[in-house]
Structure 1
Amino acid sequence: MASKNAPPILVLHDLDTVKEELTAALETADPQHRTGLEEALRIVDRHMAVSDEERTREWVRRLIRDAGIDVARDQVRAVKAVRDAVPGLGLIAANSLVNSVR
């Protein structure tokens, strides 16, 4: 259960299903499509190797960057941007997320 001090962030991704569909498509693919499907599988595998923590950090980095904030210069604005993006997120949790990308 999330609290004001712990980020209530749930990382959702269903890459297993995507990989299964690509693998099935590859099994019956015409030779002209095989290279593209093989590359798509390599991309999916790369994304599957990323931890939920790293996905969360990347989301925070993107959020702060898209807000035009330099976290090294303005941590307060960065924390506010994260809290605005996640209604109900506590100050400690938001600060922790921002610190994780510094």
Structure 2
Amino acid sequence: MIGFGTQTKHDGAALLVREADAITERLRRALDTAPDAERPGLERALALVAEAAAVPDAELRARWVRQRLDAAGYEGPPDSVRAIKTLREAEPALSLLAAVGYAKETARAESAPGAASEA
């Protein structure tokens, strides 16, 4: 549903793809014609899609960075020089500027009150 696309070192930002609108429309069409037994499940699915669509882009990027760092075995602060190097090794097309920006954004997200680790 949500992902990051390929980028070149020149474009500076990963492509964030959200398909919540298309998924919501498909679920609504299915709900319109669903038998009573299927309605609760489709209504729950619609609520989950709405919840996922409400997640801010910055939080999605922070999750993406943390997943890359965790997969590489890195456990320190996300905005350290080592973390940025690890991130760029994991994602070679990521520019230094983008990696630094994402690392700082991740550090802010992880230090925010109520931030939970989602790997």
Please tell me the residue identity of whatever aligns with 1:78: A
Q: Per-residue CA shift, 1:46-101, capped at 9, x if unaligned?
A: 01111222211111111112222113299333212321343343334312212222
Cα distance change on mapping 1:32 and 1:99 into 2, 3 Å: same
Tell me if the contact between 1:7 and 1:89 (Cα under 8 Å) persists in the aligned partners: yes
* Structure with greater proportional helix content: 1
* Structure with greater proportional strand content: 2
Gap regions ≥5 residues in structure 2: 1-6, 108-119
Residue number in structure 2 paired with 1:79: 84
Q: Per-residue CA shift, 1:8-65, capped at 9, x if unaligned?
A: 2110121101000001101111111111111110110001111222211111111112
Identity %: 37
More relative contact order in 1 or in 2 (CA 8 Å, sep 6+)? 1
TM-score of the two chains, using structure 1 as the length reference: 0.79
Question: Paired residue for 1:17, among 16, 22, 36?
Answer: 22
Please tell me the residue identity of whatever aligns with 2:64: W
RMSD: 2.5
Cα distance change on mapping 1:3 and 1:25 into 2, 3 Å: closer
Please tell me the residue identity of whatever aligns with 1:77: R
2:105 corresponds to 1:100: yes
Count of residues paired in the alignment: 101
Gap regions ≥5 residues in structure 1: none
Tell me if the contact between 1:4 and 1:92 (Cα under 8 Å) persists in the aligned partners: no
